[in-house]
Amino acid sequence: MPTLSVELNGDAVHSIRAPDRFEATGPFSIALENRGRSTHVHLHFDDELDRALSIAETNHFVDDESTRRVHVTADDVDAPITGKLKVVTGYGSNARYVDVRLDPPPDTAPDEVAVDETFTKPPERPPDPPTRQRVANAIAGLVERGGLPGAVLGFLAVAAGVAIAFAIDSVIVSIAVGVVLTVSIAAVLLAAA
- For the stretch 82-114, pLDDT in tens is 999 999 998 888 999 999 999 988 775 556 666
Total count of domains within the chain = 2
Residues of the chain with pLDDT under 50: none
DSSP assigned state of 98: E
Residue 129: the pLDDT is: 79
Note the helical H segments in 106-147.
Answer: 131-144
Containing domain of residue 11, as a range? 3-102
- 138 found inside a domain: yes
Residue 182: the pLDDT is: 82
Query: How far, in Å, CA of 84 to CA of 167, rounded?
Result: 106
- 21 and 85 in a single domain? The answer is yes
- 93 and 146 in a single domain? The answer is no
Residue 110: the pLDDT is: 58
- 82 and 146 in a single domain? The answer is no
Query: How far, in Å, CA of 32 to CA of 98, rounded?
Result: 14
160: nearest Cα among 173, 141, 144:
173
Residue 192: the pLDDT is: 54
Is there a contact between 192 and 173 (Cβ–Cβ < 8 Å)? Answer: no
Residue 137: the pLDDT is: 79
Reported pTM: 0.55
Query: How far, in Å, CA of 22 to CA of 3, rounded?
Result: 9
